[in-house]
Structure 1
Amino acid sequence: MPFRSALGNRLFHLRGIRRWAKAARRAPEMELDELRTIRSLARKYLYSMNEVLAVADSRLALPTIGSNAFPKPHGTDWAWRPSLWRRPLPVPGMSSVESKSKLGSELTLFHDCAHTELTLRQLRNHREADLASYGLRMDVFAFDGSFLSLVLDLPHEAVDGLTKNHLLRMGTIVEMEKPLEIFARLNIKHGPNTEQIVRELPLHEDEIMVEFDLAYSNLNEKRIERAWVDIIFENPQMSQVILRDLTFSRRPRAEF
């Protein structure tokens, strides 16, 4: 039944196209009364078609929902965009966010404020430059705490086969109302210990990217259990930050 319906619609539209093509050919010789009638109908159809084209162009220009596409370094053996930046969340936002609140299944907010005036919201990306379907907006008003961080749990694939020969890259697109310092801290739990590597995001550069080089760590490759990343915001009061994208990739170091 769906196939017949689709076929019927297609034939209906083809007949309509042929009728208008025939009217266009006859227009130079039409009687004026008939030409006025055809012109009135054409204007009505044209308005509706322009509306359809405007909506279609707008929607089809948006980044594809679920896309995991982004530039990756040569030799990448694992790449990932968290689901918050790929798919709509059941609950898209929170206000007066308490510490340890989760947004989606992978992201958790931590702070030590006595009174929170902070909101988190997933938003749809519309810019031509955006590859991610969604972004994350954080609004911070009064802030009486000493730290604020977003903690992102990395999937098991990030540490499966991970060695000290690997480079782990984090890339992002950041929009800010005012200048802030933002740090990324990679945490890898191996046995009773947790290896930590901190990098400051180069917010003044066109490509905001940091790499964690595990060659200089004390990682015990045989006891790796899991990994997560803290995104740490310094002095965030009275600010708005939008993370338009967040991506991760992993590759072995080049051998010389």
Structure 2
Amino acid sequence: MSENQTDVRFKEMLDAGVHFGHLTRKWNPHMAPYIFDEKKGIHIIDLNKTAAKLDEACKAIGQVAKSGKKILFVATKNQARAAIEEKIGPTGMPFIVERWSGGMLTNFATIRKAIRKMSSIDKMEADGTLNTLSKRERLQISRQRAKLEKNLGGIADLTRIPSAIFIVDINKENIALLEAKKLNITTFAMVDTNSDPTKVDFPIPSNDDASKSISVVLERIANAIMEGLDERKSTKDKQAAAKADKTAEKAKSEKKDKEAEKA
């Protein structure tokens, strides 16, 4: 990365308030290595450390995407929902922005049943079965479908436990973090000065309360995912082309052999 690019990204983080931590009295001592200073009773995060940790996280998360595995994003706080849907939605990665249901990872089979229920209702609507029910029954099913979509719509395509999880605010999403750690799922997270970064595999010291800060970090993460997916597609295309060439060469060789036999 060039010096100009680094300056631009540093300024972007500064403008978004990524460096603003919590009140000094609310700090977690494990965040000491990432704190630059204290101003008016508020801890200031060292953006050089943030940039380094963000680059590290992007590199790792890009590899996960390149391998074809899923990264689950969890951010149920109001300030993060829009950013998750805007930045992460286009990547095709699953996300939870409403409420974390206990056991979502450790009891994934039950969650899959709920998702299949949502699919079955969609099928009933598509084949006209829903129209054969009474108005009251249709209303009940529609309400059930809306509730399932609200809570599980972001993970409708998640067919197996994700390989990694990205969390915004590990204090708020502590249950999600505990479940991920129990299943040895790789963890990425934005950690503020009141959080314990040692609980996360790839912590990104940053303001996890401001929507602009969250958006800036997620944009970098989303770009890394897209780059990983593009690399995966490119590799598969090259392999397919190589296979096609090999098949064509084999067919050509077999044709020559047959012609030689006839001669």
- TM-score w.r.t. the length of structure 2 is 0.23
Structure label with greater radius of gyration: 1
Higher relative contact order (CA 8 A, sep 6+): 2
After TM superposition, the score normalised by the length of structure 1 is 0.23
| Structure with the largest fraction of helix | 2
